[in-house]
Structure 1
Amino acid sequence: MGGERITRRGVIVGAGAGLVAAATGAYAGRDEIERWWWRVSGRERPRTDGALDHAGAEWVAASSANWRRASRPDDYTIDRIVVHVVQGSYGDALDVFRDPLHEAAAHYVVRKDGHIAQTVRELDVAFHSGNRRFNERSIGIEHEGYVDRPAGFTDAMYTASARLAAGICARYRIPVDRTHLVAHSEVPGTDHTDPGPHWDWDRYLRLVREAAG
């Protein structure tokens, strides 16, 4: 190779030409090469599996079948938070996230009393939104409760979730607005309805801004 230097752009453009030509999705081809680059270049983000991204959370690992290893935000830009409601309890959410047959998990679960579990590292892509590109660009926050039971959305839950969201927004410079903090029901292609009509978005955004303050 002599003095020739392999650059990330060179890998993407050069190696990508054959792959992308053979694939229907330029996005998918480029995407896999982007991820490959961060691995083989030795630039993958240092990690300690099970380390917490949100102080005070409890680590409860989701099954590895429900997320995929990544090196965000180097390989995928993080610019969205997706708000979910379980349609069940905190324990229900953790149970299904640990089930390899469930094929879904969010990064966090917030309990009614404000306790938070982290189940997937923010570095990694959790299968939470039903849309690949949204999964790659977002962090999912699941909330205990039901979409038709507003009493379950407690003060403690709103406050804890808002602090969590504020930290995420600060880490990745995500604007605190309804373009970047979205409902699961707003993700393109989804058939879900959560967090539903009783989720108080005005209150939530105000609390996130205050926590970010």
Structure 2
Amino acid sequence: MGSKDRGSDGSGRRVGRRAVLLGGGAAVVGVAALARDDLARFWWRLPGMEKKRVDGELDHKGSEWAAAARANWRRADRPDDYRIDRVVIHVVQGSYATALKVFKNPGHGAAAHYVVRKDGHVAQMIRELDVAFHAGNRDMNERSVGIEHEGFVDRPQGFTAAMYASSARLTAGICARYGIPVDREHIIGHVEVEGTDHTDPGPHWDWDRYLRLVREASKTVT
């Protein structure tokens, strides 16, 4: 399951030790450069520039909208402000209902963009253009779409054919939208995220089967 966005100051920007140690003119130049970077990235947040949104609009056709708590994600305008080049696969360690319940809880501090049920039903909880707190790593959160799957890492029988097929169609659509290669470098498990203490999707997740299904689904994505 996802974990909270970390490693930033109160403004939401990560502050490295080297930046703190730099002083004088170098620091001033650095701050000015950061300010320009923020302005270029977040121009759409200026008065009169914010883009219109439709509440409950779906990125994945056929999914159910089930909004995550606002505290569990960060508003963005991806891929204009952050390039999307990863899909992160999670396993809930619980049921579909459990995932929706905790992701709707503002005290949980984490949520994924999507949750896939054993029968293949998909709930979208966060828009793909926004940053979900799912990977436990700020950089990965900003560059990825997170997909949770109902089940447990030590129960391979819970990874049903319907779940694999539905999740593969979802991932194929995401990869097509953002030009993400369908391979193990760009479609990864939560366990592979730098700094994580999570083990999902676990040793029983069939990566060969999953990537094969994603490639097959990619042929029909429009």
**Aligned-pair distance for 1:48?**
1.1
1:116 corresponds to 2:122: yes
Corresponding residue of 1:147 = 153
TM-superposed deviation, 1:50: 1.2
Equivalent residues in 2 for 1:16-31, closer than 5 Å:
18=28, 20-21=30-31
Is 2:42–2:81's contact at 8 Å kept on the other side of the alignment? no
Superposition pairs of residues 1-213 of structure 1, within 5 angstroms? 18=28, 20-21=30-31, 32-40=38-46, 44-213=50-219
- Unpaired runs of at least 5, structure 1: 1-16
Identity of aligned residues (%): 72
The count of aligned residue pairs is: 193
- Structure 2, unaligned runs of 5 or more: 1-26
Task: Look up the equivalent residue of 2:55 and give its one-letter code.
Answer: D
In structure 2, what residue type is equivalent to 1:148? D
Kindly indicate whether the alpha-carbon contact (under 8 Å) linking 1:104 and 1:127 is maintained by their aligned counterparts in 2: yes
Secondary structure of 2:170 counterpart: helix
The CA distance in 2 between the partners of 1:29 and 1:206, in whole Å, is: 44
Q: CA deviation at 1:43?
A: 5.7
- How high is the TM-score relative to the length of structure 1? 0.85
Q: Alpha-carbon deviation of 1:41?
A: 8.1
Q: Deviations over 1:150-205 (max 9, x none)?
A: 00000000000000000000000100000000000000010000000000000000
Conserved? CA contact 1:78–1:139, under 8 Å: yes
SS of the aligned residue for 1:206 comes to helix
Distance change in 2, residues 1:42/1:200 (3 Å): farther
> Higher relative contact order at CA 8 Å, sep ≥6: structure 1 or structure 2?
2
Distance of 1:54 and 1:19 partners within structure 2: 43
C-alpha separation between the residues in 2 aligned to 1:19 and 1:32?
14
How large is the Cα RMSD of the aligned pairs? Answer: 2.0
Structure 2 length as normaliser, TM-score?
A: 0.82
Query: Is residue 106–residue 140 contact of structure 1 (8 Å, CA) maintained in 2?
Result: yes
SS in 1 for 2:128: coil
Task: Give the partner amino acid of 2:210.
Answer: Y
3-state SS of paired residue (1:168): helix
| 1: CA distance, partners of 2:186 / 2:44 | 26
Question: Residue 128 of structure 1 aligns to which amino acid in structure 2?
Answer: H
Paired amino acid for 1:207 = L
Q: CA deviation digits over 1:50-69, x for unaligned, max 9? A: 10000100000000000011
